Amino acid sequence: MLVVEAQLKNGTPKQYSLLDEAIRTAQFIRNKCVKYWMENKGATRNDLQKLCSVLASDKATPWADKLNSQARQ
């Protein structure tokens, strides 16, 4: 499992808010991918990347578009 860490010491409230938003967005993407993978047992990494692209272009999830392509992988 890949673990990403971020530290912010003595940040402004806006910086803490942006970090929280990035964490929530990454968790949302991760949960959607895990659900897709569990429902489609033959899913490959490429299928999950396509799903991330679909989520980013979806009007219902505008926050998913804020992640860059490397973060979506």
pLDDT per position as a tens digit, 20-73: 888 888 888 889 889 999 999 888 888 988 888 888 888 888 877 777 666 666
Residue 64 identity (one-letter amino acid): A
* Predicted model pTM: 0.73
Domain annotation covers residue 26: no
Average pLDDT (1-27) is 82
Q: How many domains does the chain have?
A: 1
Position 38 scores a pLDDT of: 92
State the average pLDDT over residues 7-18. 86
The end-to-end CA distance of the chain, in Å, is: 13
Asked, for residue 14, whether it belongs to a domain, the answer is no
Burial class (CB in 10 A: 0-12, 13-18, 19+), 55: buried
Domain containing 58 equals 44-73
Is 54 inside a domain boundary?
yes
Task: Please tell me the predicted confidence (pLDDT) of residue 14.
Answer: 92
Cα separation, 18 vs 11, in Å, equals 11
DSSP SS3 for 58: coil
